[in-house]
Every structure is written in structure tokens, then in C-alpha cells.
Amino acid sequence: MQQGYFITGTDTGVGKTWCSVALMHYFIKQGKSVAGMKPVASGARRINGRLINDDALLLQQNASKNFSYDIVNPYTFAMPVSPHIAAEKVGESIDFSRIIDNLCILQKSCEIVIIEGVGGWLVPLGPKFGIADLAKQLGFPVIVVVAIRLGCINHAGLTFSALRAAGVLCAGWIANCTEQDMLSKEENIQTITRFSDVPLLGILPFSQKPDFGALACHLKI
Ligand SMILES: Nc1ncnc2c1ncn2[C@@H]1O[C@H](COP(=O)(O)OP(=O)(O)OP(=O)(O)O)[C@@H](O)[C@H]1O
Ligand SMILES: [Mg+2]
């Protein structure tokens, strides 16, 4: 059966990419063929004439098969701003059917596709639609990455509420320890668990450098 997960987070910079790649390694270790996708990316460098986003590159490089960059990341914008602004600045609009076409290509040769969103759940992608609409359209269960830092209990609760209101299936959340010296880390994680019915899929420890194989060992889906 073809499967996938849509990875969102409580904010930008919470560890969606690190968790997405760790999830890819988790499934690869289980013997599955896995692809990563970043449908929309804002913030990119021009390399040999084409725009390249670092998240998309990492997802491309960690897949179990070779896919061209354009398949992994159909929409790349140079400006590191909200994608609806970045798209408008260059006169482009984001078309979900192009994203779905690319997803179908990945699904044809991989059993699992890990799709990284942009920023948090309510980020706009156009004048009247956003990440939540894209995730709903793609139809995969959603995983929420929560950066364990001051404010995370509130941010996690707000994101879970928004997912519930949108009627999407939430497969779980990942506690990502982005701060080495976070006070009361465990209590924060316990509080988020206690106040929600969303399963905790793993606690990723603070790591100076990403060792995605090692991080994958902290996950259980
Ligand atoms: N477990 C961790 N331990 C230590 N640092 C981390 C961890 N996870 C993430 N970070 C730090 O946070 C940064 C942002 O992580 P990441 O790029 O995965 O976030 P993101 O949610 O994908 O961001 P964006 O919204 O830009 O896509 C990383 O470059 C790294 O410096
Ligand atoms: Mg990212």
C-alpha cells in the first residue's frame, strides 16, 4: 500500500526538515523505499542557474532512489519570506495539481513519501489558500513537529486544535529538543502529552550535528 505523511510544525525553524529526514531513515531501516518532498520552499540559492532550497536538497539526497530536484521541489522561491508573498513578488501562483502530479511520480517508485510543509499549519500559499488546504488535498496523515522550548505547550495546543478543526487525521507529534539547556524539558513534554490525545511518536534529543540514522532510533510510528 502506498503511504505517506505530511510534516507540519508549531512554527518555522522547529525541526520539520530534521524530523522529516529522520522519518525517512526510520522507514528505510524498515526496508521500505522512501522519497521526500518539499512542495513549496521559500529561501533559495541560485546554483548553476537554478534555484535550490537546502531543505529540498536534503530530502532529495536522503531518498532511497534518485529523483530530479524539480520533482522533489516543484515550487522554489528565492526570497526567505512567507510563500504567498514570495510567489506574488515573482508573479507566480501555486497550483496544487502540479504538486499532485509530482507526488504521483514519487509514489510510483516509492512506498512511502514524507512531505515537508512550510512554516506552520496556517501559513498561506496564495490569496485564499494555504498549507492546511494543501495537506487536506494530499490526504496523508499529518505529523506535528514541536520544538521543545518556552511557549511550546501553547503552540502545540493551538496546532492540534487547528488540525482538529480542519478535520485532518493527525498521526502524532514529535518532541524535538532544539535547545540543549531547556528548563523542565520533560515536564513540558509530559504536559503536552497530558493535555492532548495526539500520540507522541518520539523525542529527538538535542544534537550538535544531525545524524539522521541515530535520530531515527528515537522514533516509533
Ligand atoms: N534535535 C535538534 N538538535 C539540535 N538542533 C536542532 C534540532 N532540530 C533542529 N535543530 C536546529 O534547528 C534548525 C532548524 O531545523 P529545521 O531546518 O529542521 O527546521 P524547519 O522547521 O524545517 O525550518 P523551516 O521552517 O525553515 O523549514 C536546524 O538547522 C538546527 O540548527
Ligand atoms: Mg525545513
Beta bridge partners of 3: 112
Residues (pLDDT < 70) of the chain are 1-2
Bridge-based pairing of strands 50-52 and 75-77 is unpaired
Q: Please list the active-site residues.
A: 38
In the chain, beta strands by DSSP E: 3-9, 34-37, 40-42, 45-47, 50-52, 75-77, 112-116, 142-147, 170-176, 200-204
0.85 surpassed by pTM = yes
Report which protein residue has its CA nearest ligand 1's atom 28: 15
C-alpha of residue 55 to centroid of ligand 2, in Å: 5
Supply the pLDDT for residue 1: 44
Instruction: Provide the 8-state DSSP code for 15.
Output: S
How distant, in Å, are the alpha carbons of 1, 75, 193, 200, 215 from that of 64?
17, 22, 33, 26, 17
Other Cβ atoms less than 10 A from the Cβ of 180: the count is 10
CATH number of 3-216: 3.40.50.300
Beta bridge partners of 6: 115, 142
